[in-house]
Structure formats: structure tokens, C-alpha cells
Amino acid sequence: MTVPLLTHGELLKQLEIERSDLDRWIHLGLIRPATNGRDADALFTHEALDAARQIKSLLDTGFDLAAVQKIVRKVGLPSNQGNKRKQNGQQLITVGELAEQTGLNPRTIRYWEERGIILPDGRSTGGFRLYSEQTVAIIQLVRDLQLFGYTLEEIKEGADLLRDFFAFSEGVPLGGNAERVAAMYEKISLLEGRIATLKQGIKRWEDLFRKRKKELHKMREQVEKE
């Protein structure tokens, strides 16, 4: 049975993009029509539609067209089936999904990865990085440590220790890792101390606001009258 082809207009409707964007992707060779007609008369396969969707997804997660071109040249576009996989029984997620779950910009995720703070746990069939859902917990830790005033070097050390903790929890033998376990315990104790100090500071501010709120309210009323 012959698979029906999509017209230029149908492809635009499916992708919900501007015609100028699609024309540029075609000009750059990122997708190719199945026929040699003029742009408006060109026909496309459903494989071209899948490729265009992958391109749009990459652009939405922060890549520019130049980066997409490099990806296509080096490893090709990931298949829909390759975007999600399981590793050791755990679901892996894409950088876009990681960004969505953590509220981070994909550029920030890539920056943290370059610094070794987070690490990919696998790759799709197209060569794209995939992350375990434990990475979400690591990112949450990183953001908390930033609030506590930790440096990037200290944050990386904390992220490494959390990765070790997850590995030990999943059955990695503890033999020979006594130093890492001791380091985890020490870091937790230090963090508990900082949390206690932070709680004391929060209580002081809450007490101050509670005591001075009425005075502040009167001051605002006086200012508004003037």
C-alpha cells in the first residue's frame, strides 16, 4: 500500500511553524521533500515530518540552527523510539524533559554538565544525551546549595556524593568505599549545621516582621495620605 505524502501546507499545519522557517530548514538540507517541485508544490514523506518535529524540539530546548546542523551531520536526528529508554530498570529522560521537570533552562543544564555537576546516564539511538530521573534530585540539591552560598566546586562535590549515595542504595558494594561514605556523613553534618543557622536567621526576620508590621502599616498610611 502506498503511504500518502504530505503537501507543503499540510506539513506546516502539522508542525505549527512559519513557512519561512520550513523553507530555511529545506534550504539547509535538514529535511528534504520527496518531489522536486516548487516549494509550494513540494510533497513530503511522514519520515520528513518526524525529522521536522525533532528539529523543532531541538530548537525549542535552546539549540540554534547551526548546532542542529552539526548534530545532523555527526549523529543524525534521534528516532521517536530512541528518545526514551530504560537503564537498570530506570526510565531515562531527554534534556528537554529534564528542563521541564526542574524548571531550568536547557542552557543551564548544559553548563552544569560541562562543569561536571550533572552527568548523562545514556544516549538515544541518535546520540542525544539521556538522564536518569535521579538527576532531577541532584539538580534540586544543586539549587538548594546555591541558596546556602556554596561555590561551584563545593556544589560539584556534593553532587558527586549524592551520585555515590544513589549507587550504594542500588546495591553497589560498599567495600573499598569507606572514605566516600565517611565524606557523605561529614557533608551531611556540615549541611545540617548550615540549615540550623539559616533557620535561626529566618526566625529572627519573622520575629522582626511580626513586631514591626503594625508600625510599617502606619508608616505606609501616612505616606499615602501625604
pTM of the model: 0.50
Query: Which stretches of 61-177 are DSSP H helices?
Result: 65-74, 95-102, 106-114, 134-147, 152-169
Following CA atoms 195, 102, 153, 194 in sequence, which dihedral angle do they give, to the nearest 10 degrees? 0
pLDDT of residue 170: 66
pLDDT digits (tens, 9 = 90+) for 17-66: 888 888 888 888 888 887 655 555 677 877 788 788 888 877 877 778 88
pLDDT of residue 84: 47
- Residue ranges and CATH numbers for the domains of the chain are 6-77 (1.10.1660.10), 81-172 (1.10.1660.10)
Higher pLDDT, 46 or 15: 15
- Asked if residue 83 has pLDDT above 60, the reply is no
Report which secondary-structure segment, H or E, holds 219: helix 178-225
| Average confidence score pLDDT of the chain | 77
pLDDT of residue 214: 78
pLDDT digits (tens, 9 = 90+) for 160-217: 888 777 777 766 555 556 777 777 778 778 878 878 888 888 888 888 888 787 787 7
Nearest CA among 156, 165, 164, 75 for reference residue 117: 156
Residue 78: pLDDT band with limits 50, 70, 90 = low
Q: Provide the β-strand partners of residue 169.
A: none
- Residue found by looking up cell 528518545 in the block: 83
